[in-house]
Structure 1
Amino acid sequence: MSEFLFRHINKFVSIDHSQYQAILPFFEEQQLEKKEVVIEANTKCVKLFFVEKGCLHSSFIDTAGMEKTVKFAIEGWWITDFMAFNNQQLTEFKTQAVEASSVYSITYSAYSDLLHQHPNLERYFRKIWEIAYGASIIRMKYVFEYSKEEMFNRFRENFPEFVERVPQYMLATFLGLTPEYLSKIRAKKLS
C-alpha cells in the first residue's frame, strides 16, 4: 500500500511507520471501475472508504425516479453513509465510483477492532467525522443563503476540482439544480 493514507492520518494524529504497518491489515485495497457500485441502497452499511485516487459519490433515487447526489469524495476524503455505518443500519444511499478509483475500505467490524487496538486513531476518525459534518452544514448554508447561481459560483470557487471532474448532471443534482439550468449558468459565466 502507498504512503498516502499514512500521510493523511498524520495530518490529524501522529503515527510512525511501525504503527502504520500494524493498521494496514485492517484495510482492503480496492481498484474500482468507473460506475462500479460499492454500497447498494437498502443494504446494511458495513464499509467505509478512503479515496486514494479517483472520485466516488453517494446518491439516492427520489420519488420522481431521479438520481440525486448527496456527497462526493476525491483523493484524501472518506465516504460512506456515516450514520448508517456507525449504527449498523440499512443505508438509503448508493455509493459508486464516478471514475476509475483506488480506495481503501474498512468494514465496521475491522473498524471497531482497529479503534480498540489503536485508540489514538479514535481522534483521527473523530476529526474525519467533524469535517464531514461541517461540510454538510456548509452545504445547507449554501442552499438557504444563496441564489442558485450564487450557490454554483461559491461551490466552484471553493471546490474547483469537482466542477472539472464530476459529470454535470451529478453536480447539478448535488446543488439542487437541473442539468439544463447548470448548463445555462456555466454558459453565462463563459461569455
Structure 2
Amino acid sequence: MSLELRKHLEELISLTDEEFEHIHSFFKFKKLKKHQYLIQENELVTTIYFVTKGLLKASFIDKEGKEHIIQFAMENWWISDFQSFYNGMPSVINIDCLEEVELCSISKENLEKMCSENHKMEHFFRVKNSFGYVALQQRILSLLTTNAKERFEQFSHQYPQLIQRIPKAVIASYLGVSRETLSRISNKL
C-alpha cells in the first residue's frame, strides 16, 4: 500500500525517501470486504481515504428512500464525506464497498500536522482539492445540461474501466436514469 501511495503523491510532488517515510507515518491502513460500509449517514467523519485497491460508491438516501449515487472511488482516488470532514457535522452520505477494498487513511488532525510540517504535502492536497472541485462542477453541469444518452457516453468515455466493474443498476442511479433507460441506451450504442 505504501508503494501505491508514494507513486500517487509523486504524480504531483517529488519526495526523498526520508520525506516519504515521515509522510507515511501519518497514515493508517485499512481493508474492507465487499458490501461493508466505510462511512454511514450521521457519523462524524474525521478521516479521508486513499484507495489503493478496490471500488467504493458514495450515495445519499432521500426522504422517499431512493438512493442517489454521488461518486465512485477506485484505485488512486480519494474519498470521504468531505462536508463532515471539513465542517465537523454528521455525515449525510453513505460510502460502501462495491469490491474488496484496501485504503490508506489520514485523520484531519494528522493531515493538518503533516501539511504544516511539509509544504509539498500542503501543495499536493491543494491541487487535489482543486481537481475534485472541478470534477464536481463538471458532474453538476452534465446533470443539468445533457440528456441520459450524452451522460452515459461521457461516463463511458471518461471512466471506461468502471463500465465492467459496476452493475448497470448502479451506473443508472449515478446517471440519474432508470435501469431500463440505461439498457436501451447501451444496447443502441
Query: Conserved in 2, the CA contact under 8 Å of 1:49 and 1:106?
Result: yes
Deviation at 1:116, TM superposition (A): 2.1
Deviation at 1:102, TM superposition (A): 1.0
Deviation at 1:16, TM superposition (A): 1.4
Deviations 1:110-165 (A, max 9, x none): 21221122232111001111111111111112112211111111111111112111
How many angstroms apart in 2 are the aligned matches of 1:15 and 1:89? 34
Deviation at 1:23, TM superposition (A): 1.3
Correspondence 1:52-71 to 2 at 5 A: 52-71=52-71
Correspondence 1:106-121 to 2 at 5 A: 106-121=106-121
Q: Does 1:12 align with 2:12?
A: yes
Q: CA RMSD in A?
A: 1.3
Aligned residues: 189
Gaps of 5+ in 1: none
Query: Conserved in 1, the CA contact under 8 Å of 2:2 and 2:24?
Result: no
Q: Which residue of 2 aligns with 1:96?
A: 96
Correspondence 1:107-146 to 2 at 5 A: 107-146=107-146
Deviation at 1:64, TM superposition (A): 1.6
Q: In the alignment, residue 161 of structure 1 is paired with which amino acid?
A: Q
Length-normalised TM-score, structure 2: 0.94
Q: Which residue of 1 aligns with 2:33?
A: 33
Length-normalised TM-score, structure 1: 0.93
Q: In the alignment, residue 35 of structure 1 is paired with which amino acid?
A: H
Gaps of 5+ in 2: none
How many angstroms apart in 2 are the aligned matches of 1:89 and 1:118? 28
How many angstroms apart in 2 are the aligned matches of 1:2 and 1:120? 18
Structure 1 segments of 4+ aligned residues over 3 angstroms from their partners? none
How many angstroms apart in 2 are the aligned matches of 1:118 and 1:96? 32
How many angstroms apart in 2 are the aligned matches of 1:130 and 1:83? 15
How many angstroms apart in 2 are the aligned matches of 1:62 and 1:156? 26
Deviations 1:156-189 (A, max 9, x none): 1111112111122221111111122112211222
Q: Which residue of 2 aligns with 1:178?
A: 178
Q: In the alignment, residue 145 of structure 1 is paired with which amino acid?
A: T
Deviation at 1:53, TM superposition (A): 1.0
Deviation at 1:109, TM superposition (A): 1.7
How many angstroms apart in 2 are the aligned matches of 1:118 and 1:88? 24
% identical equivalent positions: 30
